[in-house]
Amino acid sequence: MFEAVQKAAFATVGLGFMTKEKVEEIGKKIIKEAKVSEAEGKKFLDELLRKSDEARLAMEKSANDAVNRALEKMDVAKHSEVEELRARLTELEQRQQK
């Protein structure tokens, strides 16, 4: 029975959107209602938090990739590119003053 609850919890849509505290709260509630051992509950909670972190990181990567693709299509310079040009300009200005 607890395995089914685990799978349902891991499959929860939006796990990556939840704060760590909210994931812990939900996990503890499931553990309490499922009446599992302390060791099994800790293992479940640790895995739930790990999967939540993985989901959050995957969403962040996906969002960053989408933003980068959009910027490339719009032909907008990235911050790092602007900083590189600033450094080159400063170097050229210093050379010219010598």
CB within 8 A of 54, min separation 6: which ones? 16
31 within 8 A of 44, measured Cβ to Cβ = yes
- pLDDT, tens only, 2-54: 566 556 666 664 666 778 888 888 888 888 888 888 888 888 889 888 888 88
- pLDDT, tens only, 41-96: 888 889 888 888 888 898 899 999 998 898 889 988 889 999 999 999 999 999 99
How many C-beta atoms surround the C-beta of residue 52 within 10 A? 24
Rounded to 5 degrees, what angle do the CA atoms 83, 85, 91 make? 105
pTM value is 0.58
